[in-house]
Structure 1
Amino acid sequence: MSDREDQLVGEFPFTPIQERAQQKRKALVESGHALFILKGYDQTTAKEIAANAGVATGTFYRYFSDKRQLLMSLLEDQIDALLPPEPNWATSDPESLLALLLETHDNRLKELGLQRVLPELLHKDSELADVLATARRNIHSKILTGLIKAREKDLTWKDLDLDTITWSMMLIAENVPNKEAHSGKQADYHEVAKVICRMIFPPEVMKKLKEDKNGK
């Protein structure tokens, strides 16, 4: 967890040591996770989290200052999981690798579930918005660096701005989980990867990479 994320969570009122107390705190965390996903952040109260965990409301405040602190404790170390994956363009089959990365990322988001809560918070929680913006800039920089290295090997289009390609790729990748809601169809990760790779690689490069993979 970074220093910035640590500031988001803040200092807990009490850190349990005994197993029974740890179990109560774990129950509250699991209850909050479930209710945030089910009802959303604004519609979930500390009282409901405590009741769903089978403890008194006072017990909630023994472990957490408020529901925001509980949510931030769920998000700690998970910020990067909310962002698009960083591909390795040096592979002999970038399309298949990217499809696998997108599918893994989507499954991780579904398991975490908390990305549904973020839109409620970002417009009113400037600290969280800053942390996510910094994380996005970091992954943008990493993806762009990889594309620059690919261009140095004459793999990418020469007339396209790599920063714009990086931004476009991130927009597509971030919205893959929303495709079903928008079009009624589940995302085909290989088709999405194909679109992204066509933005990056000329046809002759993709052909050569696939031939190299097949040993031709």
Structure 2
Amino acid sequence: MAVQLTDPAQPHRVPGLRERKKQRTRDALVESAHRLFLEQGYARTTVDEIAAAVDVSQRTFFRYFANKDEVALAILADAEDHFVANLRERPAAENPLQALRHAIVRTWRELGGSPDGRPSSITAALELIQLIESTPTLLAAHLRRITEQEQIVAGILAEREGLDPAVDLRPRVMAAVFGGVLRSAHLSWSAEVESSGSEGMINLIERHFDQLGPALAGDWRPAV
């Protein structure tokens, strides 16, 4: 399943048997949903089919997920949570852009270390990105999540820099720019078949970040 997060401020705690069983059920639902969506399409896949593939009831499915959108986006949602944890851990000496860049590269690299075929793997995450772009319902839900993510990121940046985000616009602007750069990299990956695996995505992200300064402050017109 997706990378499990722990609060660095809390002592390490081994999950109990009940927690592990619940995690395995959630993992199985996400994995089955992902497989069914890829095999027969998002629209044609029902909650009943997802639940049946794991041998649980529809009622059990709704204990874990509010709807089909939520289980479909769970892979990226877990990755986003992992990114937030990585961002919180970045050294205070890094400026906001450095912290964002290093946190997202670390996140993709750690995702790439997961076994292929698992919902947390780089393969599954990249497959989901393609599915989202071809499914209007999922794209709308994903864009809503991106907006929520930007608010979280802006709050973290403001806290790191000792700013009030209600007064200082820079954390929100930086979070929005970061989200745009990341989405552009994701779309580029979908279009560039030679880019594969975590390192392919990381290279695209790095290239997009390298262009951020020239795009914002450079003269785009070629010299005459």
Give the alignment's TM-score, normalised by structure 1.
Answer: 0.48
Pair member with larger Rg:
1
Larger RCO (CA within 8 A; separation ≥ 6):
1
Q: What TM-score do you get using the length of structure 2 for normalisation?
A: 0.46
